[in-house]
Amino acid sequence: MTLLLRMRYSSVPLYKHAMERFNYDSGDAAEFLGLQRQTFQAWHRGKKLSYVDADKHACRLGLHPCVLWGSDWFTEDPYRKEKECQKRKRFSQRRQELKATL
């Protein structure tokens, strides 16, 4: 359970669904979710939500979290693929820098 508490999920899917449900009225969506309007509006930039918050807000919208985050909800680390891609990119850049110095 402690691993789950450390996991983070992008707020973008939740934001998009809430905006569609409330006809793009961020005030109504924020009020329904129990948030300040500014906090809700910041979600479109991809703020990371904790496992608990992601689950709580998805349930408030009447959804299981896997509807919003797909199989990432069940994975050990939802950002693993993104991290691996960034790692490969850094490795490739470093390799090119080394080639340039030779």
Q: What is the pLDDT of residues 27-58, one digit of tens each?
A: 888 888 888 888 888 887 878 888 888 899 89
- Is there a contact between 32 and 60 (Cβ–Cβ < 8 Å)? yes
Rounded to 5°, the CA angle 43-69-65 comes to 90
Indicate whether 102 belongs to any domain: no
Indicate whether 58 belongs to any domain: yes
Residue range of the domain that includes 40:
2-75
Alpha helix positions (H), 2-50: 2-6, 12-21, 26-33, 37-42
Mean pLDDT (whole number) for 2-14: 77
Which amino acid type is present at position 59? C
Element (H, E) at 50: strand 48-50
Q: What is the pLDDT of residue 64?
A: 92
CATH code of the domain containing 19: 1.10.260.40
Q: Return d(Cα 46, Cα 91) in angstroms, integer.
A: 26
Indicate whether 51 belongs to any domain: yes
**Domain tally for the chain?**
1
59-93 pLDDT per residue, tens: 998 999 999 988 878 776 656 666 777 778 888 88
